[in-house]
Amino acid sequence: MHKTKNDLPQQVRTQVVELCNARLADAIDLQTQCKQAHWNVKGPDFIALHELFDKVNEDVEEYIDLLAERAVQLGGTAEGTVRSAAKRSTLPEYAAKGPTGSDHVEALSSALAAFGKLARQGIDKSSELKDADTADLFTEISRGTDKWLWFVEAHLQAER
Ligand SMILES: [Fe+2]
């Protein structure tokens, strides 16, 4: 940990840095899954889904930046290389069963749901550690993730 004049106790900062780096790895994993969907989707809804998946990607890129910079603000080091993300990510591998819109909608909505759950746990964990700012950051991320889950999942909901 680096020295900082930030007044949060060091043992809080250490745990929050660990939490931010754990979710950073997940977010980097999620971002590559958005691009995987963006590139490979095919079918009659191609252009709508191709563009939607890229919009999700853009927001996930912001979550990555928020998480990495929060870790550094608290005196930590952001661990944001692809290799460390691959090692640390807790998300399952991107699981599209085929190239169709519904294959990718199913796969990406599962990834968003898994990440949203982790972000919500991040709110609780940060609140327990009495770091309201990181809790707020996770709230922003989980609110955004829930919105994108809705946008993606809505493509399947009329069929049920
Ligand atoms: Fe593109």
Write down the pLDDT at residue 100.
96
Does residue 36 have a pLDDT over 70? yes
- Amino acid sitting at position 48: A
Q: How far apart are CA 65 and CA 91, in angstroms?
A: 18
How far apart are the two ends of the chain, measured CA to CA in Å?
A: 50
**111 neighbors 94 (Cβ within 8 angstroms):** yes
Share of the chain above pLDDT 90, in %: 97
Distance 34 CA to ligand 1 centre (A): 10
Q: What is the pLDDT of residues 4-25, one digit of tens each?
A: 999 999 999 999 999 999 999 9
Write down the pLDDT at residue 158.
83
Write down the pLDDT at residue 98.
95
Residue 101 is encoded by which pair of tokens?
């819109």
Number of neighbouring beta carbons within 10 Å of residue 104: 30
- Average pLDDT over the chain, rounded to an integer: 97
pTM equals: 0.96
Distance 84 CA to ligand 1 centre (A): 25
Distance 159 CA to ligand 1 centre (A): 28
